[in-house]
Amino acid sequence: MQASLATARTWTPPTGTLGRLIAEADARVLALRDRRAELERRAADAPVAPSMATALISSTVAVIAEVKRRSPSKGDIAPGLGAGAQAAAYEAGGAAALSILTEPAHFGGRDADLGDARAAVALPLLKKDFHVDPLQMVEARALGASAALVIARAVSPERLRELARAASDLGLELLFEVRDERELETVLGAGALMIGVNNRDLETLVIDAETAVRMLPRIPADRIAVAESGVRTRDDVARYAAAGADAVLVGSSISASADAAAAVRAIANVSRVGRGG
């Protein structure tokens, strides 16, 4: 409890790129509030989505393949990419789950991408966006997502727990994203089952490939550990497997590929090593 209280006291709102993205997400939430009744109705009527957590448990490192048109760090990646066709190619290449970027201004995403992907594949879908309010959990469920991303650095520990409770009530899984031990402690306290370690600092956009190597072994063995950002080659996947990754989330390199199925196939089926303890 003492450590949890210390974590809450030391959290400060994000700055840099992440700070701007969160401010824009807050503005989008205000617009969503006019649609609350509609979203709640659609969420209640939405069919049960396939479990992402279940899909990531395998003898090999699961690939979460991302539909990604652009990013703040790279600019345009694949601006004409169609979510449905890309999803089908990823599935053909052996992806275990898909990450669908829905943030519109900086990543070129749209909510309709989730529907297009769901119409094309039976894989679990992660709604990847900057989620800051419980109403966005309702929206994710209404859109048919299996899971939603929650970035520990983006919200206070109190708000993170609110998001976790809202998702649980809706039957929506969460992938919690962390970069250090303090954030890991926070998400474990919120009951996190799936935990991603992002090599990219979203405030500065700098990638440090050692972040996942350092943090993955610290994730309890009964949780699902995901390495994120900077994964391009089979050797990268093997390196994170050796550090204890159960899955990798890969976006830019496969979204930019002329043969998305082949790009996923090239990094799939790397043996999982696991974590002790």
Question: Which candidate in 228, 252, 253, 255 is catalytic?
Answer: 228
Q: What number of CA atoms fall less than 13 Å from residue 28's CA on the CB side?
A: 21
The amino acid at 203: E
Question: Which candidate in 71, 199, 229, 252 is catalytic?
Answer: 229
Q: Are 61 and 247 in contact (CB under 8 A)?
A: yes
Question: Which candidate in 146, 198, 252, 253 is catalytic?
Answer: 198
- For 154, residues 6+ apart whose C-beta sits below 8 A from its C-beta are 14, 18, 22, 130, 131, 132, 202
Question: Which candidate in 91, 128, 183, 253 is catalytic?
Answer: 128
**Whether 228 is catalytic:** yes
**Whether 162 is catalytic:** no
**Whether 74 is catalytic:** no
What are the DSSP calls for 116-150, one per residue?
Answer: HHHHH--S-EEEES---SHHHHHHHHHTT-SEEEE
**Whether 73 is catalytic:** no
Q: What is the DSSP letter of 103?
A: -
Q: Are 45 and 140 in contact (CB under 8 A)?
A: no
**Whether 158 is catalytic:** no
Beta bridge partners of 178: 197
- For 66, residues 6+ apart whose C-beta sits below 8 A from its C-beta are 98, 99, 100, 101, 128, 249, 250, 251, 254, 255
CA 195 – CA 175 distance, rounded (Å): 6
Question: Which candidate in 68, 99, 103, 146 is catalytic?
Answer: 68
The amino acid at 153: R
Active site residues: 66, 68, 128, 177, 198, 228-229
